[in-house]
Structure 1
């Protein structure tokens, strides 16, 4: 043991006797060399295998060959297969950083990062059965870097099928960009069986996702996520408040203006307000009829999604959308007219939420939150492909696959059969 590092001397117990040229089974040992391979840690101590690799020479054709260690580590690589899968498990299960794994293994960041990403890409991500059984697909986007050049957005595609049986959502893939083209191209690149199996696509109000789904998955039902429907209504309440503020004062609100001071209370659900907040909101609604109209629509939409009877909720929301879509329904509130046109255009998508249970895009937003944590752990990413692979490793649902590979690498003897 050297300064917290275990150095273990090893050599193969079964020799590679067969000559690959003439088939001779009685070679002689010509020489040997030492190969250093980093293995899985023991507690807080790193482990390095000092393996004596024998060089054989055929006594008939004089050809030479070395002992094969391909079951221990890949040719030219420093990490053993067991160490690579140990690092993958630490990163995936415990949300460790690459640097933390490199410190535990007593090797460089580049060594661990290269091995982890290559193994993730070649074994986990390219598994042909990974996309089998996907029936409910969630689509959303988020900002993955804050730079003045290059694409700032990525589109995530999430498998929501398991939610109906109590399982977690999992990240299927990540595409650089946010447009109809990138989603449509990804769907077109999948197998016909995968596309035919998709029944529901959960999304936000972005038209590009809707067009891509209609082009590549015409048989699937699009579901507009409740969060984004409520957010559309909340934005209209804020727009009405800002318009009234400008009309009254000629400027943006300040902390002494009631409209600005109670802006957050206006967006709270009625049952979440304190008595003081409820009284302040009531005074504002009594003073501004157009604000009261927008606020009532906002609260009615929330009530529809809170209704436990899905048929009753669907009927109430359908009647509200039809009322907002009528011309002249809100002459003194143009913001509600815009909301009515938007909801009427996506009417079927909004109401489909009440037909298909567990079709919310909330788990997709949750994965976006997990990936935000990942970016903090990694202190940001520069390359989109690295970010994609790390995200899939972090939220791709590979727990069982990783566990199987760890069991194989730790329990398979390092001898040739």
Structure 2
């Protein structure tokens, strides 16, 4: 029989995160610190608005680009929070989560052979989505000594005549790294000088603990070169609602919308009505969750210091990326042995790129009670290793 499968898809590796989730679900008394999902329920007033939309029978398709009211609120939000100005009609579209925005951005922009610069460690979907779109992913290995920020020289070293697009994944999953304004200004000039475009994944923009998040699109000359991806999953604890958005130049958004029309039609209607309320009335909810995460972040840093476990201080998202190189194991071996010995699940750093070897991703999107118990078990395991 003829091979029914795409060679490109077959060659892709499954996500390295799932292995540990699958084991944990079958293991009694296990604690998982591996899920990148808020542990908060969606705030009630947002859920209530979704329920009300159903009661009113608002169960039909919206326009392909999304509800007008929602697009207007998205633009207001970006303006008041990040000093960004977008036209809701031509420069804004609503997507099925930020993940769809990433996928259709690649498909709308890449021709076969176009190179996409992907700093790693980073979210697992950039590489496969770029490959599926016909692009050539080029990995930039970020370094712990730079707090996993992208430097000007690293960017310069990766650019070739085939380079078209840079993925800018900050605040970062899995490291928690952020790019401050001074960092962005250095690379923005490189982008302009080399006539590149940027996919800026800012899904964790509301979860920053140092200063206000800065979008590279707000810098001079960068709005017309940037496709901004964001959404409601992390900031408003709305992962299951599957709602995100993309903003960028009309020329690019119109082509992304074309793919969205054929593949999706529109984002979930109920979710869109709920998101309108989230943006109008949810700032206090976001601030509360951010403060809770920050307390957990500080707790983990304190415990790692007590354990003597090396970890730079992350200022974004809800992840830690401690170094475990001292134990002479691969990240996968350490994570597997920790799970078997103490029933604590973490994610090997290599799930997010080869340069994540020697590190673990630990999510603090969990209650302080669970974090304390998990860290107690982890400390016990580490003490055992050091006493061998």
TM-score by length of 1: 0.23
Larger radius of gyration: 1
Q: Which has the higher contact order (CA 8 A, sep 6+)?
A: 2
